[in-house]
Amino acid sequence: MTYDRLVCANCASPVSEGRCPVCRASRERLQQQDGLFGGMTPAALIALLVGLIAVALLAHEVAAAGA
């Protein structure tokens, strides 16, 4: 989940704005937890998955045609 949509329970503002110490601490923690695909949007992840599936299908077709 991205922190730009989270709302702080302490100050009721978006965590991404970092208005209070709780927001700032949560924002820092979430930024540190971002992995390789952590900064990508769900749409970008789906597009990447569709692209990988297309490449796999194309490789399978090429291998089947050569056999």
pLDDT at 34: 67
Distance CA 6, CA 18 (A): 11
Q: Looking at the predicted structure, is the pLDDT value of residue 2 above 70?
A: no
Q: CA–CA distance from 26 to each of 20, 36, 54 (Å)?
A: 10, 19, 38
pLDDT at 3: 61
pLDDT at 6: 84
Assign 3-state DSSP to the chain and report helix, strand, coil percentages, each to 5: 65, 5, 30
Q: Looking at the predicted structure, is the pLDDT value of residue 48 above 70?
A: yes
For range 17-45, the mean pLDDT? 82
Q: pTM of the full predicted structure?
A: 0.48
Quickly count: other Cβ atoms within 10 Å of residue 23's Cβ: 22
